Structure 1
């Protein structure tokens, strides 16, 4: 049977998009990679995050805000359908600062963005004493924080599992262990895999993360993406210590403190390093001194998928109409947008979001 859509890539981005298309009554086949694939979805820090995004492109801030606002209903619907609690908390998140200068400089940037967004950028600045009332475990070296009220966090592995379960429940097909080697188009798209599997579809979405760098040019995309390593670690389960997440640490729904993440330009290397973990630990202990006594139980590295300017890419192929590139490094934050709003764009519906600023044309050198 021919699908309406073939989704190349079965991570959070691909499955969120597939779920949204299925909700519109479309037939969807997802081709997921093998266990050797680099998987950002399985190494994610789990933030649903608006703060600091779109400083140079307000449309990205708006897109992130729209997704964050849709997350609660999205999580509730997925949870009701699958029985998976996604662990969503959206009570705000912190940008912690260790110097007054960095805090003031960031606030100045936020005020500029807030004006560009017509005032819709709800945050407040907490000095050390005010922050300590909210977070009694905060350390004396933290001079203050920016509390952004649209931020939160979720359990990314449960999100991935719930999406896969519900995609199947809704009639979608997920083919695991498939490495796509070729995409052709006549009247229909034909996607070929190295094991001989072939899938035909009316439209195709390339959401294969770093795999898009190789497949993209075959389909008429520039796909100018690169990997960036993020190392993360998690402690033993602890009593409640951290009430709201930050980019330094968050207490996950199961009790452990997740600490992260590095930003390293090391190519396709997702290993963990002692310097990387030591740096993370030092910063986390400076923020929350009690963590010096916590036992580390696991650490890992994963590769972010970054475009040259760090923003998502949403592009229809000029060479293969009906083929779309969908890639970003904020798959958790944007999961609700990809599920709720992106399908209208893929279908060319009247209610489609305006995603023109995220096209690949922004990378064209004149």
Structure 2
């Protein structure tokens, strides 16, 4: 087996991937594309973690300068290529509008538009021409044409169906891996699965076997609350964010943001570390969120105040009542503690790697993270 940092490449080996979320599935995609046989195990009947409890955003514009932004740009290109091959993932290059309603927010948008990301500052009339569903009162919006969206609840099954067409991919759900061996893994049914290389992509599940083989990885867990509405009876042509997003994405750091931060968020938004993101699903419904909770143990409650805030903010941008919320949920993702890392990737045995901790970048960056793993592992 090729060691980390080696220049040689191995061909035709059997890769076993533990974890059925988008990160694991993208690693399966990379391995199959490179000619390998792949078996993917998932402890649930279907992925149920952060991979399906998100916005489905390929969110490029707000990423930190340097490696994170470059990774997101590369992942956006890969998503578009995958979407062309697998229409079921629902890829669309819809861009995003971050709507501003105060002069302080407008100053942040102007500063970002003066940078090198290709952002464009639109006035209110231009915003409404680009996205007629936005009929509220606002000063304008920051337009990012790099952002895109996919359908998180159906992307993994669609990708797996395409992988199965290769004849070199096997999906085995309902199997929890209990032991890493020199020749593969053993599951909770007592079955052994041979592999030359094991890639653990277990998301926020970092106990049990992961603790045994990797200790305590340098990641933290983050809990969020989100919701989905009934269909909006018209097309939301772009993803929409409110200006609180400026406070949570590193691309907007600068003097104007420092000035904005002297104006506190509303009490509910500040208490729940909130921003509004709103994306329309292909069935017309809207996914809205979100909150951030960082201190464990997490609450088991799904609280209402954040939803009241989201509903009020989204309704103000739409200029009319938000459609009724049809479902609410909470989710937990893993985030690398080192802000310079897009994800935590570590060799945990001669034949195994752990890849986790992309945080809120998981859906956006997973194709590129998997590509980087393939290169580093010599696949």
* Deviates further, 22-31 or 98-107: 98-107
Q: Secondary structure at the match of 1:102?
A: helix
Matched, 1:195 2:189: yes
CA contact (8 A) 2:336 2:344 kept: no
- Structure 1 gaps of 5+ residues are 350-366
Please report how far the alpha carbon of residue 236 of structure 1 lies from its aligned counterpart in structure 2 after TM superposition.
1.7
Matched, 1:175 2:172: yes
Q: Secondary structure at the match of 1:211?
A: coil
Please report how far the alpha carbon of residue 47 of structure 1 lies from its aligned counterpart in structure 2 after TM superposition.
0.6
* Aligned position for 1:218: 212
Which deviations, in whole Å up to 9, do the C-alpha atoms of 1:110-157 show, x marking residues without a partner?
75xx5xxxx4x2211112232122223325443221111110111112
CA distance in 2, matches of 1:60, 1:197: 39
Matched, 1:231 2:250: no
Q: Secondary structure at the match of 2:321?
A: helix
* Deviates further, 326-335 or 172-181: 326-335
Taking a change above 3 Å as real, the CA distance of residues 142 and 14 of structure 1, as seen in their structure-2 partners, is same
Pick from 261, 279, 292 the counterpart of residue 290 of structure 2. 261
1:1-366 correspondence runs (5 A): 4-34=14-44, 39-55=49-65, 58-79=66-87, 84=88, 86-105=89-108, 107-108=110-111, 114=115, 119=116, 121-170=117-166, 171-185=168-182, 188=183, 190-220=184-214, 222-247=216-241, 248-265=277-294, 267=296, 268=298, 272-292=302-322, 294-309=323-338, 311-317=341-347, 320-327=349-356, 328-329=358-359, 330-338=361-369, 341-342=371-372, 344-348=374-378
Q: Secondary structure at the match of 1:254?
A: coil
Taking a change above 3 Å as real, the CA distance of residues 25 and 266 of structure 1, as seen in their structure-2 partners, is same
CA distance in 2, matches of 1:335, 1:175: 21
Please report how far the alpha carbon of residue 12 of structure 1 lies from its aligned counterpart in structure 2 after TM superposition.
0.8
Please report how far the alpha carbon of residue 67 of structure 1 lies from its aligned counterpart in structure 2 after TM superposition.
1.0
CA distance in 2, matches of 1:216, 1:141: 50
Taking a change above 3 Å as real, the CA distance of residues 347 and 203 of structure 1, as seen in their structure-2 partners, is same
CA distance in 1, matches of 2:14, 2:365: 23
Which deviations, in whole Å up to 9, do the C-alpha atoms of 1:35-83 show, x marking residues without a partner?
698611121211111011114xx1110000011122222111123xxxx
- Structure 2 gaps of 5+ residues are 1-11, 242-276
Taking a change above 3 Å as real, the CA distance of residues 103 and 177 of structure 1, as seen in their structure-2 partners, is farther
Which deviations, in whole Å up to 9, do the C-alpha atoms of 1:242-263 show, x marking residues without a partner?
2101242122111112211222
TM-score normalised per structure 1: 0.80
Please report how far the alpha carbon of residue 338 of structure 1 lies from its aligned counterpart in structure 2 after TM superposition.
4.6
* Deviates further, 138-147 or 298-307: 138-147
TM-score normalised per structure 2: 0.78
Taking a change above 3 Å as real, the CA distance of residues 286 and 238 of structure 1, as seen in their structure-2 partners, is closer
CA contact (8 A) 1:221 1:325 kept: no
Aligned CA-pair RMSD: 2.7
Q: Secondary structure at the match of 1:199?
A: strand
